[in-house]
Amino acid sequence: MKTLLTNRPERAASALITGGIAAFPTETVYGLGANVFDEAAVQAGFRAKGRPGDNPLIVHVAELRQIREVAARVPASARRLIHAFFPGPLTVVMPKRPEVPASVTAGLDTVGVRMPAHPVAQEFLRLCGFPVAAPSANRSGRPSPTSWQAVRRDLEGRIPCILKGPRARVGVESTVVDCTGRVPVVLRPGAITLEDLRRVVPTT
């Protein structure tokens, strides 16, 4: 497979719209995106990474209204965190809609959603027009990439497109907070600290 290197978000979005996958920059790390509702494309991302299917993917959205396309319910704690930190390096876990494939959520009845703050990611996601499921754009077991050059070293010839952008500003994965229970729980620490979260939801 020949991998297209491009700095044009519309070229990368076209890859997803036509059923493919593409790497794209965010402020945390580069992601490997697929249409969240396209089971074949999601599976292509797993194969490209050599990633096992027991680890949920994060769904990336361009607009707040898209959250309702994948989340069956937005709990009150999730609404407060979304208001405070979207767009930004936070993933909020909520109950999922049945339309979201089990491969995206590793069979769980929840889905993690985030809205990147990176302007190139925002344009790419807007042009896609649907929520995008994306793990980090690296071979399984390798460090998460913070530059398009790192993505190229890992995945050239394994994916159809890499959207080039600047080096990731944050450089670590998003903080993940599970808002499905009575008390929100941090599942993965990241750029947004526990102290940041507690200023918005004191019971975190």
Q: Which helix (H) or strand (E) holds 24?
A: strand 22-24
pLDDT at residue 77, as a whole number: 97
pLDDT band at 203 (very low <50, low <70, confident <90, very high): confident
DSSP 8-state symbol, 53: T
Local confidence band at 52 (pLDDT 50, 70, 90 cut-offs) = confident
Average pLDDT over residues 65-83: 97
| CA-angle at 67, arms to 161 and 155, nearest 5° | 20
CA-wise closest residue to 103 among 59, 136, 160: 59
> 148-193: per-residue pLDDT in tens?
999 999 999 999 999 999 999 999 999 999 999 999 999 999 999 9
Say what the pTM is. Answer: 0.96
User: How does pLDDT run across 98-109, given as a tens digit for each residue?
Assistant: 999 999 999 999
Q: Which residue has the tokens 């994948």?
A: 70
Strand 4-6 relative to strand 58-60, pairing: unpaired
Half-sphere exposure for 74 (CA within 13 Å, toward CB)? 17
User: pLDDT band at residue 62, thresholds of 50, 70 and 90?
Assistant: very high
Residue appearing with tokens 């507690």: 198
